[in-house]
Amino acid sequence: MAGLDYARERRMSRSTTVQATVMQAPAIDQFEVLNDVLITVEDGVITAIAPAASFAGTVDHVVEPGSVLMPGLIDLHIHAPQWPQVGTGYDLPLEEWLFAYTFPLEAKYSDLSFAIDVWDSMVPRLLANGTTTAVYYGSVHGPATTALAEACVRHGQRAFVGRVAMDHPDGTPEWYRDATTEAGLEASAESIESINGLGSPLVAPIVTPRFIPACTDEMLTGLGQLAADTGTLVQTHCSESDWEHGYVLDRFGATDAEALDRFGLLQTSTVLAHAGHLTTNDLHRLAHRHSGVAHCPLSNVYFGNAVFAARRALDAGVNVGLGTDIAGGPSPSLFANAAQAVNASRLLEDGVDANIEAAQRGVAGSRIDALAGFWLATMGGAAVLNQPIGLLEVGRRFDAIEVTTERIGVWAEVDSPVRIFEKIVRMANEADISRVWVDGDVKRR
């Protein structure tokens, strides 16, 4: 299948041992604690997990009591060039925000040195936030996008990196689009070759039509073909807002998901960002295609016009993970997005307008809990991408974070392991993440 190529291992054997208490979520409703285990990692893969007490060799790193080890966090949707404006510009709806703030910023990435400055700020910051895997939108520029992939290799972050294809004269400005459909398709093909050419097992290309309003039919057809021809994953936006959902209905007489499917863009592990306005038929279509959703709950507050019904999508068999949607979302933290995924689900369940009778106010059965929020940020994302990450178990890659509870606070009077876990999910931020590993290597300490 498409994706990261683990055959391209570094030549030198790399091994490490880590002693820790692990907290993680093998399933959306399953909390797992591995008390004081010794994890053995060979060439990035977990080869053994055993009680630490039974181990006689050298331990490379001990996660001290008071800290816990967790799987690394997976960001399924992040617009790298929007990094400088994260946290700002939430006064406009999507279709205006793009032209007023975002396209002008993205257009600056024709300047490769500016791009590299941003990438060298952003990638380490995301790693420090525990994001061990990121699925990136680059910009329309091939060189800046390849430089992003190079930055991921340099800083050691697992990543899918996509050059953004956008050629529709109505949905894009003259000063920020592919010159022609053909030029755009060629640039996307070159970007795939260029990123594959880096020869890193951590980084892979991804075919990236910005979204239907920004792409001509010819571009969408060509990109579907490109993905099929090259075995490359696909990402795009889908039914993000009333406007976007309505635009596609008007243009094709079909929903966004149905239209993408016609263009061959709904494949196994296609990442669809947002998807807040999917119909029941759309959900069945996604489940059938094994395409997944990047749920971006903080972004949706500002641009979604509704809450993505995560529980409903999961119940329909759709794979769902989390995305920060920087800069549509105002936080680089997947913990913050996991917490907001819970918040959003509760607000959907209860409703928001006190002037409506309680029984009619919300959508019963919508809630997810903090465990589910963490699962979305780890195993949920791993399932969408179909990658052996998201859980610390034998056979998966060792992407992990060490989280200290010193500031978060643990009280023997009330805290059980699951309560400590909940505190971490709801309150941990960059300052509480004391160490980060990707593919067995320490990336931040």
- Residues forming contacts to a second copy in the complex (CB under 8 A) are 83-91, 101, 105, 108, 114, 118, 121, 125, 242, 276-277, 298, 301-302, 304-307, 309, 330-331, 339-340, 342-344, 346-348, 350-355, 358, 361-363, 369-370, 407-409, 411, 413-415, 419, 422-423, 426-427, 429-431
Complex with a second copy: residue 69 or 118, whichever CB lies closer: 118
Per DSSP, which regions of 158-214 are E strands? 158-162, 164-165, 203-209
The first and second tokens of residue 196, run together, are 């594959």
CB atoms near residue 43 (< 10 Å): 17
Q: How far is the CB of 163 from a second copy (least distance, A)?
A: 21
Task: Give CA–CA dist 53/102, Å, rounded.
Answer: 54
Burial class of residue 363 in the structure, from the number of CB atoms within 10 Å of its CB (0-12 exposed, 13-18 middle, 19+ buried): middle
| Cβ(269)–Cβ(384) below 8 Å | yes
Distances (CA, A) of 339 to 27, 140, 324, 334: 17, 32, 12, 8
Residue 182: φ, ψ to 5°: -60, -45
CB atoms near residue 302 (< 10 Å): 19
End-to-end CA distance of the chain: 34
Complex with a second copy: residue 397 or 444, whichever CB lies closer: 444
- DSSP letter string, 405-431: -TTT---TTT--HHHHHHHHHHH--GG
CA angle centred on 439, ends 435 and 440, rounded to 5°: 60
Residues 6+ apart with CB under 8 A from 391: 24, 25, 26, 71, 378, 379, 382
Three-state secondary structure call for residue 56: coil
Q: How far is the CB of 99 from a second copy (least distance, A)?
A: 15
Burial class of residue 305 in the structure, from the number of CB atoms within 10 Å of its CB (0-12 exposed, 13-18 middle, 19+ buried): middle
Task: Give CA–CA dist 115/62, Å, rounded.
Answer: 37
Task: Give CA–CA dist 127/390, Å, rounded.
Answer: 15
DSSP state of 377: I
Please compute, for residue 2, the number of CA atoms within 13 A of its CA located in the half-sphere on the CB side. 24
Q: How far is the CB of 275 from a second copy (least distance, A)?
A: 10
